[in-house]
Amino acid sequence: MVGYDKKTEKLNQFDFAFAGGASGFITRAVCQPLDVLKIRFQLQVEPISHQAISKYRSIFQACSVILREEGVKAFWKGHVPAQWLSVTYGIAQFWTFEVLSKQMHKLNLSTNVSPIVNFSCGSIAAASTQIESDDSETDIRFLETGCTATLVSFPFDVVRTRLVAQSEQQKIYKGILHASQDICKKEGPIVLFRGLWPTVVQIGPHAGAQFMCYKIFDDLYKMLEKSRETTLLGSLVAGSLAGLCAKTFIYPFDLAKKRMQIQGFEEGRKTFGQHFQCKGLNDCLVQIYRMEGIPGFFKGLAPSLIKAVFTTALHFSSYEMICKLLLYTKQ
């Protein structure tokens, strides 16, 4: 049901936006612990290895350390700003993708170019939207490149990263509001957008690859099952594989973004080992390579891939089910 389907013609733009926001909320609530693990690994300069003297050496060891030192609640650190991030982006992304795919359907293009169409629609959905209103309805027009969804939600990402990154023994921020105020007061409002450039670089290809792979795997699953309907299991399988492919593709930029977001936050990370310093995206990538080598670009990839599999599967499947529920209420 992701993308244009005659069965969804009864759904309006508000329905797609609601389904996207709700699926983002559900996914974030369930998968937040994996996000905490991923960020902790990404920010650690020391090797992630049982042979190294590092705070975090493996997924299970990291879970044990966090649980012992910070308690169960630590696995949901930064959950509130993360929810704002997920809901805001889920609304913008799915809403835009559905509208775009409907417009592309009207062109009657060959099915051979469907993967390219889905990739393009997914990329544009993540990276460019312009909304214009008239007296009768909201009209979506894609006339110029922008980063609406990313710009609106990005400060939540920075605050989320800071909350997850801080130590309980050196706690600086008490919550989302205190973190936002403290960052603006001590470092300036512009810091709330630190790491935006690697996000802009990765967001289009990531979303495009995600939607393209989802449609490919969904079609393959339906072909194998000899079914025309998208089932919950099929959506979960297709979403999982799509998340796995897309996340691996853009991971180094995601790691660089997290490293940039904690610049100037040394005080809150005194118990986590060596602090990483950089002066922008290019310098960040160079410093990672010099200090940690090629493996440094993929620190935290394991929990990130686990997270990508679960979040993408849950995101797409919950979106599909919510759309079906909305259709049922309109019958």
User: Could you count the other beta carbons within 10 Å of the beta carbon of residue 232?
Assistant: 12
Q: Looking at the 3D structure of the chain, how many domains does it have?
A: 1
Instruction: Quickly list H helices, 44-111.
Output: 59-70, 79-105
Write out the residue range of the structural domain in which residue 311 sits.
6-330
Instruction: Quickly list H helices, 110-173.
Output: 114-127, 148-165
For residues 208 and 122, the answer to whether their CB atoms sit within 8 Å is yes
Of 13-17, 91-95, 130-134, 221-225, the least confident: 130-134
Q: How confident is the model at residue 12 (pLDDT cuts 50, 70, 90)?
A: confident
List the beta bridge partners of residue 141: 130
Which CATH number do you get for residue 316?
Answer: 1.50.40.10
Question: Which has more confidence, 297 or 246?
Answer: 297
* Any domain includes 1: no
* Any domain includes 311: yes
List the beta bridge partners of residue 131: 140
Please state the pTM of the whole predicted model.
Answer: 0.69
Report the share of the chain in percent with pLDDT over 70.
83
User: Could you count the other beta carbons within 10 Å of the beta carbon of residue 275?
Assistant: 14
For the segment 129-161, what is each residue's pLDDT rounded down to a tens digit?
Answer: 333 333 333 333 333 333 556 677 788 889 999
Structure tokens at 114: 């469907």
The pLDDT of residue 275: 87
* Overall average pLDDT of the 229-248 stretch: 81
Question: Which has more confidence, 219 or 138?
Answer: 219
User: Long-range contacts of range 260-264, CB-CB < 8 Å, 24 or more positions apart?
Assistant: 260/194, 260/195, 260/198, 260/284, 261/157, 261/158, 261/161, 261/162, 261/194, 261/195, 262/43, 262/161, 262/162, 262/165, 263/194, 264/187, 264/191
**Block residue for tokens 């979506």:** 140
* Overall average pLDDT of the 290-312 stretch: 87
- State the sign of the Cα–Cα–Cα–Cα dihedral 8, 9, 10, 11: positive
State the Cα–Cα distance between residues 301 and 197, nearest whole angstrom.
21
* Any domain includes 174: yes
Alpha carbons within 13 angstroms on the beta-carbon side of residue 198 total 22
Q: Is pLDDT at 171 greater than 80 in this prediction? A: yes
